[in-house]
Amino acid sequence: MSIASDETDDDSPVYRQVLADRDPDVLAAIQSMTEALGGTPRTLDGKTTELLNIVILTTMRGSAARLRAHMRRAMSQGASEQEILEALELMIAPSGIPVFEHGLSAWAEVVNAVELKPDVAPFSP
- Positions touching another protein (CB under 8 A) are 30, 33-34, 37-38, 42-44, 48-49, 51-53, 55-57, 59-60, 62, 80, 82-83, 86-87, 89-95
When the beta carbons of 15 and 22 are compared against another protein, the nearer one is 15
- Using only C-alpha atoms, the chain has a radius of gyration, in whole angstroms, of 17
Show the DSSP H helices in the chain as ranges. 14-22, 24-34, 46-59, 64-76, 81-89, 92-95, 97-110
When the beta carbons of 90 and 108 are compared against another protein, the nearer one is 90
Minimum CB–partner distance for residue 95 and another protein (Å): 6
Minimum CB–partner distance for residue 40 and another protein (Å): 11
| CA separation for the pair 71, 63 (Å, rounded) | 12
When the beta carbons of 1 and 70 are compared against another protein, the nearer one is 70
Chain CA centroid to CA 3, Å: 20
Please enumerate in sequence order all residues whose Cβ is within 8 A of that of 3, keeping only pairs 6 or more positions apart, or say none.
14, 17, 18
Minimum CB–partner distance for residue 125 and another protein (Å): 26
